[in-house]
Amino acid sequence: MERSIADFVAHLEDRRYAAHTVRAYREELDRFLSFARSRVRRAPDPARDLTPELIRAYASARSLERTAARRPISARTLARSLAALRSYLRFLERKGLATTALRAAFPRVTVPQPLPSAHAEAALNALLDQISAAVPDADVRGLRALAAAELLYGSGLRIGELASLPRERLDERRMLVRVLGKGSRERVVPLGARAVAVLRRFWRAFGREPVAGEAILLGPRGTGVTARTLERDVNGLLARLGPSAAVHPHALRHSFATHLLDRGADLRAVQELLGHQNLRTTQVYTHVTRRRLKEAYARAHPRC
């Protein structure tokens, strides 16, 4: 089984899965391998030792595990763990091993769906305008943080997509950007005029414009900055919205989708802009807009 897991991980790398995704799958499958080895008392063989009973036993044991803080693992953690195992079984089936009965043995895990943490439109736009007016033209890091925020909010990018975005994928004339998203799926999204203007200010402060092959957001050494660095920059910027505001960069992506839907954008168009493979992923934003509509109805209608 160890060899087949290594082949599966290599398959994920060949399909250009993100490094942290590959690492997470490997960790989950190593955990399952250790469990299977303890049950069969030897190196497990996928063809002989993978049984529905083993799958059910692993799911039960995993659900009883606790975190370092001695709390039960969350339903989301359990679902993610079983999803990695399910993907591995699908890989084995493509290699000729029948796994239908094995995949049917997985328990159903209900994962709570929290609403996306979107910022209020007026407050977010006021903050970006205020920072744009206040940041000095010589403040390289401040302009980089502002450019990152404008791009995340203006185009709905993920922080990892922005950190790895090369200069040649930015088309200023047509105001478009080509993004390589999850699963190596490419999409083309519009670019806001304010994002381009701040990006230009950052390049002037930095001293040069990036060339083809370089990231659009450069660091002090002239190389691209990491997603973690951009995350810290954006966190500091969004913290000005108040102590209860969501400061993670993904909140800007949530705001992008929510504000588009609030203004009547088509759900399929928003799905395309976000790069979601499944429409159900995009539909979570309709819960946010529906809640706001209900609140407005409750405040305004005389018969409520």
What average pLDDT does range 42-54 have in this prediction? 90
Identify whether 158 is a catalytic site residue: yes
Is there a common fold for 2-104 and 121-298?
no
**3 or 297: which leads in pLDDT:** 3
Identify whether 187 is a catalytic site residue: no
Active-site residue (options: 17, 25, 88, 285): 285
Identify whether 182 is a catalytic site residue: yes
Q: How far apart (Å, rounded) are the C-alpha atoms in residues 3 and 173?
A: 50
pLDDT in tens, 146-179: 999 999 999 999 999 999 999 999 998 899 999 9
Residue 253 has pLDDT above 80, yes or no: yes
Identify whether 285 is a catalytic site residue: yes
Active-site residue (options: 62, 119, 144, 158): 158
Active-site residue (options: 194, 201, 253, 259): 253
Q: How far apart (Å, rounded) are the C-alpha atoms in residues 28 and 36?
A: 12
What average pLDDT does range 237-258 have in this prediction? 91
Q: How far apart (Å, rounded) are the C-alpha atoms in residues 213 and 294?
A: 48
- Mean pLDDT lowest for which of 9-18, 110-119, 276-285? 110-119
Q: What's the mean pLDDT when you consider all of the chain? A: 89
Identify whether 253 is a catalytic site residue: yes
Identify whether 294 is a catalytic site residue: no
Q: How far apart (Å, rounded) are the C-alpha atoms in residues 156 and 256?
A: 6
At the top level of CATH, which class does the domain 2-104 belong to? Answer: mainly alpha
Prediction pTM value: 0.68
At 36 the pLDDT is 93
At 296 the pLDDT is 65
Active-site residue (options: 39, 182, 204, 232): 182
Q: Which two tokens mark 150?
A: 């404008």
pLDDT in tens, 273-294: 998 888 888 877 776 666 666 6
For the chain, the structural domain boundaries read 2-104, 121-298
Please, is 284 exposed, middle or buried when counting C-beta atoms within 10 Å of its C-beta (0-12, 13-18, 19+)?
middle
6 neighbors 91 (Cβ within 8 angstroms): no
Q: How far apart (Å, rounded) are the C-alpha atoms in residues 56 and 109?
A: 13
Active-site residue (options: 194, 254, 259, 276): 276
pLDDT in tens, 194-211: 999 999 999 999 999 999
At 283 the pLDDT is 78
At the top level of CATH, which class does the domain 121-298 belong to? Answer: mainly alpha
Identity of the amino acid at 14: D
What average pLDDT does range 245-270 have in this prediction? 89
85 neighbors 31 (Cβ within 8 angstroms): no
What average pLDDT does range 120-147 have in this prediction? 94
Residue 143 has pLDDT above 90, yes or no: yes
Q: Report the C-alpha dihedral over residues 235, 138, 120, 280, rounded to 10 degrees.
A: -60
At 181 the pLDDT is 84
Beta-carbon neighbour count of residue 159 at 10 Å? 21
